[in-house]
Amino acid sequence: MNQSYILEIKGLRKEYSKFTLNNINVELEKGSIMGFIGPNGAGKSTTIKSILNIISYDSGEIIINGINSKDNEVSTKEIIGYVGDETSLYSQNYAKSVYKFIRRFYKNWDDEVFNSLIRKFNLNLDKKVKEFSKGMKAQFMLALSLSHHAKLFILDEPTSGLDPVIRAEILDIIFNTVKEEGASVFFSSHITEDIQKIADSVTYINNGNILLSDKKVNILSNYKQVDFNQDISCEFEKKLTFYRNKKLIIHKSKIEEVINLAKSYNIDSRKIEFTTPLLDEILLNLIKKQN
């Protein structure tokens, strides 16, 4: 157990009839934001449900703030703030009733924080949750999550389907909470734009396997986008396995190899440009390689 980590997932495995979460290993540093990203069905929700002890897992260990979460469920959940993309559990209840129910479970509940967020979001607690828009539901869930001074926030697609203004507002609040309170965030999403905006590190999962887990700055510096600023032959293009739209994403270790290959097809090296790709381009490249 490393005290510099708020969350450690060690060898997590969960097997279903048609899907297996296979030997997942993740380490989230205290005071940082990790983007947990992957396509639908990749294993993101299964991992999060395992962290929260909503489902049992076949093998592995989950450590939260130095404590085994399975053996100490109450104390670990006390320091977790959860926001998902579904609020069906509370939809038939009035928001005020939900708030009064939730606050009883947390010793560190802070009404001042909660009421401040409710005013900020302009939410009417005398409405039923089902009467809230999707954006308002996300804001309400975020207010509940932030009001007990959690040390670890588990966010499961909290910005999915929201308009850009509300998405940006929620991301700013999450980022500022980490900065001001030293909290940590495990942020599951398939929206790479959100991850690239606020995450310190990125873990990418596909088909139940971790394909990449590193600090965001390392990932962006380790991969390059190759732009061939001239027409290339069909023969040369066939040699570039993941080439499309006159662009190629490669690991930086392959730069010399690509230059030499280009020279053998009479490509002017002065017209080859290496730039930093977007995160989603890197991840798309990893999916293609796995497939």
Domains of the chain (ranges, CATH numbers):
5-207 (3.40.50.300), 220-290 (no CATH)
pTM (2 decimals)? 0.86
Assess whether pLDDT exceeds 60 at residue 87: no
129 φ, ψ (degrees, to nearest 5): -60, -35
User: pLDDT per residue over 174-204, tens digit each?
Assistant: 888 888 888 999 999 878 888 888 899 999 9
Q: Angle formed by the axes of helices 134-146 and 164-181, to 10°?
A: 10
CA 241 – CA 249 distance, rounded (Å): 10
Q: Which residues of 235-261 are buried (b: 16+ CB within 10 A; e: fewer)?
A: ebeeebeebeeeebbbeeeeeeebeee
At 262, list the tokens.
């280009």
CA 80 – CA 184 distance, rounded (Å): 10
Residues 264-287, mean pLDDT to the nearest whole number:
85
Assess whether pLDDT exceeds 90 at residue 21: yes
CB 148 within 8 A of CB 109: yes
CB 262 within 8 A of CB 228: yes
Residues 252-263, mean pLDDT to the nearest whole number:
90
Helix (H, G, I), strand (E, B) or coil at 116: helix
Assess whether pLDDT exceeds 70 at residue 1: no
Helix (H, G, I), strand (E, B) or coil at 88: helix
